[in-house]
Each structure stands twice: as C-alpha cells, then as structure tokens.
Amino acid sequence: MEEIDKLWLSMGIANMEWGQVLMMAVGCLLVYLALVKKFEPLLLVPIGFGALLCNIPVAGIGGPDGMIGMIYHAGIETGIFPLLIFMGVGALTDFSALIARPSTLLLGAAAQFGIFGTLIGAVALNYLPGFDFTMAEASSIAIIGGADGPTAIFLASRLAPELLGAIAVAAYSYMALVPIIQPPIMRALTTKKERAVVMEQMRPVSRLERILFPFVVLILCALLLPSAAPLIGMLTFGNLLREAGVVERLSRAAQNEIINVVTIMLGLAVGSKLSADQFLQTETLGILVLGALAFCMGTAAGVIMGKIMCYATGGKVNPLIGAAGVSAVPMAARVANKVGLEENPHNFLLMHAMGPNVAGVIGSAVAAGVLLALVGN
C-alpha cells in the first residue's frame, strides 16, 4: 500500500495545481497564435512550449537544476542571449536608409516617448491596490513601448528579473500585433492627403559610408552613454560584418545559425518564467495593460513627429513612416508601406520607413541605457 501511495504522489496528476493547468493552457494559446495566426512564430513557439514544460509538476525542468533553468541562467541572467540577438539584427539590417536621410533619427527618437510616458504610468499604478512597482520594475515595464523584445529582455534581466516572463510575453505579443494595432492609430492621426504623400527617391549610399556608420554610432555611444554599449556594440558589430564584404561566412553565421540557435534557447528560457507562481499575479495584468499603452503612445508620437516633419519640409515627408520608429524591424516598416499603398498604389514607403525603423532600434537601446544608468545599481 505504501508503494502505491508513493507511486501516486510521484505522478503529475496528484501534484497538479489549477494555476499550472491555466499556464499550460496559456502556453498552448501562444503556440496556437504562432501556428495558426502566424504571430511571431519564431519566438512564440519556443516560449509557448517552454511554458508547457516549466509547468509540469515534479519534473523541475524550469528549476535551477533543470535543463531550461540552466539555459535561463547561462543566457538570460547573464544577458548574453539578447546581445547575440542584437548582433544578428545588425547583420540582417541595412542601415542605408538612415544614412541617406539622417533626419529620420528624429522619428525614431520621438517614438521612444511611449517608454518614458509609460514609466510615469507604471509609477502611478502604485496608488491602486495590488500594485507596488519599484522604479526598477517600472523602468523594465516601460521599455515594452520600444517594441524591441531583446532590449526588453536585457533590461528586465538587469532591473527586474522577477517580471521577465510577463514583460517578454507582452513585448513579443505587441510586436506580433503591429499590423493590427498600428494602422488605426496611423489613420486617426493623419489626413488622406498626408497618407498619399510620395517621397523622393533617396540618394545612393557609398560602401565607405556604410562601413563608417557603425563606428560613428559606437563612438558616440562610448562617449555619451556607455551603459548602452552592450546593446549598441553588438548591433554595430553585426552590421559591420554585413557591410565589410570580406567576412561573408561570419555575416551568414550571425544572420542564420547563431541567431536561430539563440532564438530557440531564448524562447525556451523565457517560457520557463511563465510558471504559475510567478505569472499569476495582479501585477501581470498591469504589465500587459501598460505595455499596450506604451506601444500605442510610441506609435502616436512617431506619427505626430512625422506630421511636424511633413509641415517643415513642405510636404516632402510622409507622416506614416513615423510609426516605424517603434523598432519592430522590419514589420513596422512594412505596415507603414501597406497603409501608404492603400491611399496611393504608386506610393512605396518601405525603404523610407526603414530609416526610422533602424533609428527606433538604436533609440530603444539608448532608452534602455538611460534607464539602466539612472535606475540600475
């Protein structure tokens, strides 16, 4: 009889709690959204499956001695995975649009308004019962507004590792929902005439300019904001591999094998933090709401800056490209292009939108560096 009791207690069904069942259902939902709705499948599949694995009772897969727990410690707590992702993003991204039109830096900077606006909102939530965000936690939540998953994970791992699961899921969920969230905001803030503005073809960018640009960005970061150097440094290094022209093997590895392996490991590690005891809290709902607010504010701020630039240039800038300043490369640029084509089938904004899109990546890394410098230990 004792052996039967021991066997029963070793079974998952005997140790399963309602919270674990709920979080396993959330994991299945994430996988469903990835497979059926195609919302960020490269990350939602491993995150969702990681949530399933870490909520299996007794197994301890997501614990400190479990496989995914050790992956989390080696890659997330140390900040290595987000930095390797940034290297891959740099290797995959063409900076020519930003080099050809440096003024689009203003659009990327304006879109970061959502980050600092949400920081105030997160602190204000402390006046409601059930919320008690520290300044470090509020800063980690606010960075969701940059729509940059690796940056959100990097900052949260430094400032608020206990909120990493909720922040990562919110960041990547809103990135996946860019085609749904952004267009209504863009249409509400612009006129039909503004959306139909056709922008002039950009000037050609020389190879020398493309090679020098990563060094210029890195030097400015080193001089003005060293706390952002890990993110900016890996982004510019990846881009240098792309533009150098003499290290094709390294560039291909950064664009393919390395970023693919890291994406799998990062997704599983983030999913391990979707355990019932860490995720099912009142604060999680606040994070999801604030994340949506941050993303909407960032989009609106970018479009408004685009309208200002349109007016200042006499109608030469289409305000829609300002929405691409929230990062989310290259999806936000594609959305701007799609909305522009709806008004004028000959209006191709993709390359123009890549300027603020790249600026948004740099801007979110800079914002993370500012928050880390002000709030970090």
Asked if 290 contacts 125 with a C-beta cutoff of 8 angstroms, the reply is yes
**What span, in angstroms and rounded, lies between the C-alpha atoms of 171 and 163?**
12
- CA distances to 31, 102, 365, 375 from 226, rounded to whole Å, are 38, 22, 11, 14
Sign of the CA dihedral with 65 first, then 68, 71, and 77 last? negative
Q: Give the amino acid at 174.
A: Y
Among residues of the chain, what percentage have pLDDT more than 70?
A: 98
Top pLDDT among 132 and 363 is at 363
The more confidently predicted of residues 111 and 214 is 214
Q: Which of 7-11, 147-151, 203-207, 289-293 has the highest mean pLDDT?
A: 203-207
- For the chain, the C-alpha Rg in angstroms (whole number) is 22
Per the CB < 8 A criterion, the answer to whether 7 and 229 are in contact is no
Closest CA to 320 of 126, 190, 127: 190
**CA–CA distance, 79 with 88 (Å, rounded to integer):** 15
Q: What is the pLDDT of residue 9?
A: 67
Q: What would the pLDDT profile of 215-261 be if each residue is shown by its tens digit?
A: 999 999 999 999 999 999 999 999 999 999 999 999 999 999 999 99
Q: What H or E segment, with its residue span, contains residue 205? A: none
By mean pLDDT, which of 60-74, 196-210, 235-249 is the weakest?
60-74
Reported confidence tier of residue 89, pLDDT bands at 50, 70, 90: very high
Whether pLDDT at 377 is above 80: no
Q: What is the pLDDT of residue 343?
A: 87
Q: Nearest CA to 360 among 93, 177, 123?
A: 93
| Higher per-residue confidence, 335 vs 327 | 335
- Judge whether 188 and 45 are in contact, CB under 8 Å: no
pLDDT at 264: 94
Among 367, 372, 377, 376, residue whose Cα is nearest residue 117: 367
Average pLDDT, the chain: 88
Separation of CA 196 from chain center: 29
pLDDT at 304 over 80: yes
Task: Judge contact between 200 and 318, C-beta under 8 A.
Answer: no
Q: Are 131 and 287 in contact (CB under 8 A)?
A: no
CA angle 300, 301, 307 (to 5 degrees): 90
Domain assignments of the chain as residue spans, ordered by start = 13-366
Residue closest to 319 by CA, chosen among 97, 111, 178 = 111
How far is the C-alpha of 7 from the C-alpha of 148, rounded, in Å?
Answer: 46
Q: Which of 4-13, 31-40, 260-269 has the highest mean pLDDT?
A: 260-269
Position 220 scores a pLDDT of 95
pLDDT tier at 57, thresholds 50, 70, 90: confident
φ, ψ dihedrals at 57, nearest 5°: -65, 150
Q: pLDDT band at 84, cuts 50/70/90?
A: very high
- HEC letters along 36-71: CCCCCHHHHHHHHHHHHHHCCCCCCCCCCCCHHHHH
- Check residues 172 and 374 and name the one with the higher pLDDT: 374
Q: Residue 62 — very low, low, confident or very high, per pLDDT cuts 50/70/90?
A: confident
Question: Other CB atoms closer than 10 Å to residue 126's CB: what's the count?
Answer: 14
* Average pLDDT rounded to a whole number, residues 262-282: 82
- The mean pLDDT value for 315-336 works out to 90
